[in-house]
Structure 1
Amino acid sequence: MTSRRDTAELLAELAEAPGVPGAEDAVRQVMRRHLAPVADLEQDHLGSLIARRRGDADRPRVLLAAHMDEVGFMVRRITEEGFLKFQPLGGWWGQVLLAQRVVVHTRRGPILGVIGSKPPHLLPPEERKKPVELKDMFIDIGASSRQQAEAWGVRPGDPVVPHGPFTRLHDPDLVLAKALDDRVGCAVVVRVLEELAGTRHPNTVYGVATVHEEVARTGGGARTAAFAVDPDVAVAVDVGIAGDMPGVTPDEAQSRLGRGPTVLLYDSSMVPHRRLRDLVADTAEAEGIPYQFDMMPGGATDAGFFHVHGRGVPAVVIGPPARYVHSHGAIVHLGDVENTVRLLVALVHRLDAATVEGLRRG
């Protein structure tokens, strides 16, 4: 296994890269650079990166997929006064946005801005108690007019990325950053293929970095990647929702930072394959790897599209839990990232032809 410092450096590089849906280029470049030494690479027509690691047999084909895109925004229009109205990309809760910094990526380079709204001093008392709606927010980049903003290179459709620098907290095992949903999964995919490079495995593994997960109601990169790979087993490597914070009950979220990867029992897009889920749990217990079960009825992952590919693909969701996803600063535990890598490497070694056939017909 690589060191925790190496894992943190890889995660920092991935998290710092800008990559809202439809503009994942910088993330893909990082993934390509790290995966090229250990796998054969190709790219589908939407931009998902597909890394193939050949084992002892072409099949079964094991798909390990993480999405590159992060929640962000798109410039909708420029006001005559030079402010930017924006379209959210992905699921944002308005209360986490006001006064947060963002970066507008224009054809002439990045421009820093801040999300603003009408000051509370100008609101009547009853209005101050209400959350500000996204439609009433804007981005202030310091331009004095629409013409000046346009001269700086801003135009409708430009991607806007949260500004949330990667930081190791006072406990260095905890990291804070934007985009950990799902650059954590991207880091895990890289590390798993690196670990497999030094071993034999009874299958072919595809590490895929998908596009458009945060906005795709019809599949996006998950659907095109499944078509390109035609997997026999699929794992969506995505963050769970950590519930170890004030106000969250175990019935809402059970996962805790530092207690291993989360294995989802249910999300809004699918019920994971029961026999594959049991194999994951049995593998973790046999290898002494801590893990957690949880549910995510208010969210979905790429696995919801993988499991209905072709005649059906056994699929499951595994990943480190994270606090404060879909914000400018999420928190994950590096030990959970490493244990997710350990679990997936051990799982891959168990997925031979007979085992996969048993998953399908057992």
Structure 2
Amino acid sequence: MSETSAYSSELYGIDLLRALCLEFGPSGCEDNVASIIKAQISPYADEIWCDKIGNVIALLRGERRKDDSTPKRLLFSAHMDEVGFMIRDIESDGTLRFTTVGGILPSVLPGRRVTVGDADNRVPGVIGSKAIHLQKSEERDKPGEIRDMYIDIGAKDKEEAEKYVRRGSFGTFESEFIRFGKDGRFIKSKAIDDRFGCAIQCDLLRMLKKSGERFAHDIYFAFTVREETGLSGARVGAYAINPDRAVVLEATAVADNTGAPIEKLVAKQGEGPAISILDNTTIYPREMIDFAMKLAEAHGIKAQYKKYVSGGNDAGAIHKVRAGVKTVTISAPTRYIHTASNVLCADDYDSTLALTAAIAREITFDE
């Protein structure tokens, strides 16, 4: 898809999120998502480019000082890729053996609709597993293993299947984008992790540019690749940008509607973005955590602490580049993450956009 596609018209908020979520973009196949993003932000960014690994990087240039010194650099970062699948073999009967790309539990896979192929040519399919009448009683009580599953694309044999896919082809969940609950407050889709962050960054960049404000610092926006498979995009992008401060925008798993014990609640939907203190890849500087939370309080923006140590994100790579980067992660509480049906509260989108705008305007760079 090119930048002259239907997405060249400006989309904002949930409409933009819808376009991004529905696009095909597993790790390693982010080009279509990148095209939407570039179409949305190109009229507003002072500079925009793609690096060799596939990251999209945009810059809002701050005011230059009379002494011609280099302005401080603030980086916002969100990843474009989603979890998915890679075809590892094609059976003689035309079914596809696969492995997961990113962390997907086998229990959520049987019977799921998927899309398989590449950026330009894809076919629908369904994930199958051993038929129930062929399973032994002990097998029925256990979740299946991915090695025993396959993707059925309706091909009669290997020769027909190879007309559409090949070893190394990728796949994603096929999932509708719907709003539900009172006043459509909740959103269900695949890939909210992390098209949420990408949409926020697009809206934020345009908001700041349209405001006509001038900043004493440069503001970079990195839309990164391959977060789900090892943070390589963030590592490359942050090294090139060399930021002084970084804000990572993410989606974080929550279990706020399942009666989870308080120590594993993580965060609650509708209470604003969750600010991380510690996760499996990063210990966040207290000054960055406090800055974000106090800013939210000062502006009347809902925000909360992430209450459970879990997961990791691009901050794990960004905070370690060069001489180190003071980083904070701000996440949307998201139910059923890494499945075909992520669920987001629309209120948290608005709160996150408001908080990131305040950070962009009021960030300090005291050492």
Q: TM-score, normalised by structure 1?
A: 0.93
Q: Which moved more, 1:68-77 or 1:169-178?
A: 169-178
Q: Which residue of 2 aligns with 1:194?
A: 206
The yes-or-no answer on 1:164 pairing with 2:170 is no
For 1:138 and 1:247, locate their aligned partners in 2 and report how far apart those are by CA, in whole Å.
Answer: 34
What amino acid does structure 1 have at the position aligned with 2:335?
R
Q: Which amino acid aligns with 1:356?
A: F
SS at match of 2:277: strand
Q: How far does residue 295 in structure 1 lie from its aligned partner after superposition?
A: 4.3
| 1:310-338: CA deviation from partner (whole Å, max 9, x where unpaired) | 11110010021110110001010111111
Do 1:266 and 1:295's aligned partners in 2 also have CA atoms closer than 8 Å? no
Residue 195 of structure 1 aligns to a residue whose secondary structure is helix
Contact 1:239–1:320 at 8 Å: present in 2 too? yes
8 Å Cα contact 1:244/1:256 also seen in 2: yes
Identity %: 36
Quote the Cα distance in structure 2 between the aligned partners of 1:120 and 1:149.
Answer: 25
SS at match of 2:246: strand
Q: Following the alignment from structure 1 to structure 2, what is the Cα–Cα distance between the partners of residues 59 and 270? A: 26
Q: 1:224 aligned to 2:236?
A: yes
The equivalent residue for 2:4 is none
The aligned runs of 1:74-85 (5 Å cut-off) are: 74-85=86-97
8 Å contact 2:24–2:119 — kept in the other structure?
no
1:255 CA displacement: 1.0
Instruction: Choose which of 264, 275, 300 in structure 1 pairs with 2:312.
Output: 300
Are the counterparts in 1 of residues 93 and 156 from structure 2 also a CA contact under 8 Å? yes
Distance of 1:50 and 1:341 partners within structure 2: 19
| Distance in structure 1 (CA, Å) of the matches to 2:311 and 2:205 | 27
Match of 1:314 among 284, 306, 326: 326
Q: Is 1:20 equivalent to 2:26 in the alignment?
A: yes
**RMSD (Å), alpha carbons:** 1.4
SS of residue paired to 1:356: coil
Q: Which residue of 1 aligns with 2:82?
A: 70
Deviations 1:74-125 (A, max 9, x none): 1111001100000100001011111000001258721110000011221121
* Residue 125 (structure 2) aligns with: 113
Give the count of matched residue pairs: 348
Gaps of 5+ in 1: none
Q: C-alpha offsets along residues 193-217 of structure 1, whole Å, 9 cap, x if unaligned?
A: 111111222211111100000001x
Cα pair distance change 1:200/1:14, threshold 3 Å: same
2:354 is matched with 342
Letter in 1 for 2:305: F
Q: Which residue of 1 aligns with 2:288?
A: 276
Give the match's secondary structure for 1:121.
helix
TM-aligned CA deviation for residue 170 of structure 1: 3.5
Equivalent pair of 2:86/2:100 in contact (CA under 8 Å): yes
Of the three residues 96, 121, 128, the one matched with 2:108 is 96
Partner of 2:55: 48
Structure 1's 19 and 296: CA in aligned 2 closer, same or farther, altered over 3 A? farther
Q: TM-score, normalised by structure 2?
A: 0.92
Q: Is 2:41 aligned against 1:35?
A: yes
Q: Aligned runs of 1:249-288 on 2, under 5 Å?
A: 249-288=261-300
Paired residue for 2:187?
175
Measure the CA separation in 1 of the matches of 2:259 and 2:103: 21
Establish whether residue 208 from structure 1 lines up as the match of residue 222 from structure 2. Answer: yes
Task: Give the distance between the partners of 1:168 and 1:229, measured in 2 at CA.
Answer: 37
Take 1:108 and 1:242, find their aligned partners in 2: how far apart are those partners?
34
Whether the 8 Å contact between 2:245 and 2:325 is mirrored in structure 1 is: yes
CA contact (8 A) 1:55 1:205 kept: yes
